[in-house]
Amino acid sequence: MIVTIDGVAASGKSSVASGVARALGIPYVSSGLLYRTATLLGLEAGLELNDATALLAHLRANPLRLEPRAKGNRVWVGERELTAELHSSRVDAGVSRVAALPEVRAWVDAQLRALPEPFVAEGRDMGTNVFPHAGAKFYLTASPRVRAERRAKERPEDVPAIEAALTERDRLDTVQSAPAPDARVIDTGPLTLDEVIGAVLSELPEHVSRG
């Protein structure tokens, strides 16, 4: 059983996926962390972020391990944990370029499809491209200002700077960010995190919530 939670940047995908996964007693998987890892490793190696051949060679030489825990995913390369470094503004600024590369998308998709079910998968194209046969699909939205205000609690930049960066990332990610036709779209703007998690849980078909 797979539940997909897609949506725009900072719409609450990871927080909601984590809450839903914990309620169901299953892991959740953050696909964005894989794109973020590719970006961080590329930046650290001094690679051009649009050079798919060099990036993939580097990723294959430095295999990552995604630990899909319900309370928060962790990423390792060898003995080094990268998790805390994956949400920097530097990675935010480069990740859309890496995610636009078809070769990198194929690399991420293959890793996701190899994971054992059940799980909640969050990202941009989980319900459309990667897991079109998922048992339940959701798509989260909120205005850029609401998202920036939430994110400002976690970042040193001010709200207008964060809002501008989020709007630019939405623009760059548009191609892969459409909701699946059978996804339930939730505007998280007027809702608390717990209310969004509750809305998702209440919409799950019985066979999915039973496992």
Ligand X SMILES: Nc1ncnc2c1ncn2[C@@H]1O[C@H](COP(=O)(O)OP(=O)(O)OP(=O)(O)O)[C@@H](O)[C@H]1O
Ligand Y SMILES: Nc1ccn([C@H]2C[C@H](O)[C@@H](COP(=O)(O)O)O2)c(=O)n1
39 near ligand X, judged by CB under 6 A? no
The DSSP element (H or E) to which 144 belongs, if any, is helix 144-152
Smaller CB separation from ligand X, 1 or 148: 148
177 near ligand X, judged by CB under 6 A? no
Smaller CB separation from ligand Y, 15 or 31: 31
Q: Return the axis-axis angle of helices 52-61 and 102-113, rounded to nearest 10°.
A: 30
9 near ligand X, judged by CB under 6 A? yes
124 near ligand X, judged by CB under 6 A? no
Q: Pick from 169, 180, 186, 200 the residue near ligand Y by CB under 6 A.
A: 169
The separation between CA 138 and the C-alpha centre of its own chain, rounded to angstroms, equals 13
4 near ligand Y, judged by CB under 6 A? no
Q: Return the axis-axis angle of helices 31-44 and 52-61, rounded to nearest 10°.
A: 100
Site string for ligand Y, 100-139 (x = CB under 6 A): -----------------------xxxx-------------
